[in-house]
A and B are shown apart, each in its own frame.
Chain A
Amino acid sequence: EAQVTQNPRYLITVTGKKLTVTCSQNMNHEYMSWYRQDPGLGLRQIYYSMNVEVTDKGDVPEGYKVSRKEKRNFPLILESPSPNQTSLYFCASRILAGGYNEQFFGPGTRLTVL
Chain B
Amino acid sequence: KNEVEQSPQNLTAQEGEFITINCSYSVGISALHWLQQHPGGGIVSLFMLSSGKKKHGRLIATINIQEKHSSLHITASHPRDSAVYICAAPQLEEVGGNEKLTFGTGTRLTIIP
Binding site for B on A (CB under 8 A): 33, 40-45, 48, 50, 56, 58, 88, 90, 98-105, 107-108, 110
Contact = CB atoms under 8 A, between A and B. Distances in A.
27 contacts: A33-B100, A42-B103, A42-B106, A43-B86, A43-B88, A44-B103, A50-B97, A50-B98, A58-B98, A99-B90, A99-B99, A100-B30, A100-B31, A100-B50, A100-B99, A102-B48, A103-B33, A103-B45, A104-B45, A105-B35, A105-B43, A105-B44, A105-B45, A107-B41, A108-B41, A108-B42, A108-B43
A42 B104 CA distance: 6
Interface of B: 4, 30-31, 33, 35, 41-45, 48, 50, 86, 88, 90-92, 96-101, 103-106
B41 A43 contact: no
A56 B98 CA distance: 9
Given A98-B90, A100-B31, A41 B98 contact: no
Contact of A103 (B41, B97, B101): B101
| B interface SS class | strand
A88 B88 CA distance: 18
A58 B99 CA distance: 11
Nearest to A110: B41
A99 B101 contact: yes
Contacts of B96: 56
B41 A48 contact: no
A42 B100 CA distance: 14
A32 to B, nearest CB: 12
Contacts of A43: 86, 88, 101, 103
Given A45-B101, A48-B98, A58-B100, 11 more contacts: A42-B103, A42-B105, A43-B86, A56-B98, A98-B90, A99-B92, A99-B99, A100-B30, A100-B48, A105-B42, A105-B43
Kindly list the 4 A-B residue pairs having the minimum CB-CB distance in the complex, ordered from nearest: A99-B90, A99-B99, A105-B43, A43-B103
